[in-house]
């Protein structure tokens, strides 16, 4: 079951929990948190998990570059072939992995839109291991909705959003969807 759905699945019963300004503020705050935790930009690499993790990583990178006056390497890390549900959904086409610099010895910040079961992040850690050996790996997510199935936690969170397991969190970003918002749909009424 996907933890993020596109705008084609949202309904009139969707409840907005973050608007464009709130998403922008959350990204700015997370960018500052990452820089503070790293004591600056040295050795940082941001890798977004497609689809919406990539534009979020780019936003964080731009915000960090403004603060530090230096560009931050930003890339994409496709986890399709590392997912543990590949047998149930074998028709997935691999996406793109673009890593702008070596991850060996770097502090890699994985960026995703929603942290739910933790299985996507587990797959990302496996994919990252095939690319090299980072000094440290951190996780930044726009929304942490709980319901973990594996022992994974985010280091930097835009919004902790307690949800019921039958609800869906939909992140829409202007780069992908034409608008910025986070909504919740579903659940027992």
The pLDDT averaged over each successive group of 10 residues in the chain (189 residues) is: 46 86 98 98 97 97 97 96 78 82 98 96 96 98 96 97 94 98 84
Q: What is the pLDDT of residue 11?
A: 46
Q: What is the pLDDT of residue 94?
A: 77
Nearest to 165 by CA among 146, 137, 143, 144: 146
Using CA atoms, how far residue 62 sits from 28, 38, 67, 72, 127, in Å, is 10, 16, 9, 8, 25
pTM of the model: 0.90
Q: What is the pLDDT of residue 37?
A: 97
Query: Which fold, 7-85+95-186?
Result: Rossmann fold (3.40.50)
Q: What is the pLDDT of residue 12?
A: 52
Q: What is the pLDDT of residue 188?
A: 63
Q: What is the pLDDT of residue 95?
A: 82
SS (H, E, C) 3-51: CECCHHHCCCCCEEEECHHHHHHHHHHHHHHHHHHHCCCCCEEEEECCC
């Amino acid at each position: 079951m996907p933890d993020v759905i596109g705008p084609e699945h949202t309904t009139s019963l969707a409840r907005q929990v973050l608007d464009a300004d709130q998403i922008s503020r959350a990204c700015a705050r997370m960018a500052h948190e990452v820089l503070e935790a790293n004591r600056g930009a040295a050795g940082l690499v941001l890798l977004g998990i497609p689809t919406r993790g990539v534009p979020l990583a780019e936003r964080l990178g731009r915000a960090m570059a403004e603060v530090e006056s230096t560009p931050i390497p930003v890339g994409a890390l496709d986890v399709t072939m590392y997912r543990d549900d590949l047998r149930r959904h074998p028709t997935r086409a691999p996406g793109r992995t673009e890593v702008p610099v070596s991850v060996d010895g770097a502090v890699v910040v994985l960026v995703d839109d929603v942290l739910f079961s933790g299985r996507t992040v587990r797959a990302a850690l496996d994919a990252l291991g095939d690319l090299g050996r980072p000094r440290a790996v951190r996780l930044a997510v726009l929304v942490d909705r709980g319901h973990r199935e594996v022992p994974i936690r985010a280091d930097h969170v835009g919004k902790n959003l307690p949800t019921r397991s039958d609800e869906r969190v939909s992140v829409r970003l202007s780069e992908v969807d034409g608008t910025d918002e986070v909504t919740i749909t579903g659940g027992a009424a």
